[in-house]
Amino acid sequence: MEMDCGACGESVRERTVLCVGGRIWHSRCLKCSVCSRPLYDQHSCFLRGMRLYCRHDYAL
C-alpha cells in the first residue's frame, strides 16, 4: 500500500508509520512549523489548520 507524506508529498516507505491529523508523515517531515523541532520522538504534538506545532509553540 502506497502512502504519501502529509508534508512533502513523497511516498512513505518507513518501517514505522507516523499518523497525525489523519495524514501519514515521514519522521524527518514531522516537525514544528514554527521552530522546526523534530516531533517524531515527542509524546505529543499539536495541529492547527494542518500546521504542526510543538507544545511550546502551540501555547504561544
Q: All domains of the chain, ordered by start, with CATH?
A: 18-59 (2.10.110.10)
Mean pLDDT score of the chain: 91
More confident position, 16 or 46: 46
CA separation for the pair 9, 59 (Å, rounded): 28
Section 14-42 average pLDDT = 92
Q: How far apart, in whole angstroms, are the C-alpha atoms of residue 17 and residue 40?
A: 10
| Stated pTM of the model | 0.80
Q: What share of the chain in percent tops pLDDT 90?
A: 75
pLDDT value of position 1: 63
